[in-house]
Amino acid sequence: MKQNPDTLPPAYESVESRLLALFYSGVYITNTEIVEIGKELGLDLPMKDRTALLKHLMRHAHDNGETPRMLKGFIALLKKRIAAYRELAESFPEASDLVGEWIHKANSTILLLQREMRSNPYE
């Protein structure tokens, strides 16, 4: 039975809040990036606000057994952003402390997503 795409199982709430909050993840994930991850899962998402898009994507992944693939998509996105942050820190050494904080938060988010993939409480 398919659920409302605007509701999530409780296990997704921490992942959702982490991905949507720049303060926690160190990365701003755009609407377009969420839509692209949806496309990788065969989901054609309409352009909406980030929260609605992410909830719809997570519901789709949950309902179709695609949670590991979805999480891998976000991990790949975070790794690309970390690479860009490293280049930024090299180009602007005076900003390296701030950029280092973003890298640390992004790496922490990757670890959270990897832990969620291993425990797989969504099925």
Could you read off the pLDDT of 17-54 as tens digits, one per residue? 899 999 999 999 999 999 999 999 999 998 889 999 99
At residue 29, what is the residue type?
I
Return the ∠ at Cα 85 (arms to 107 and 102), rounded to 5°. 45
Q: Please tell me what DSSP assigns to residue 81.
A: H
Give the global pTM: 0.88
Q: Please tell me what DSSP assigns to residue 10.
A: G
Provide the CB-side half-sphere exposure for 95 (13 A, CA).
11
Contact criterion met (CB below 8 Å) for 52 and 6: yes
Domain boundaries, the chain: 10-119
What's the pLDDT tens digit per position in 74-122? 999 999 999 999 999 999 999 999 999 999 999 999 999 999 888 754 4
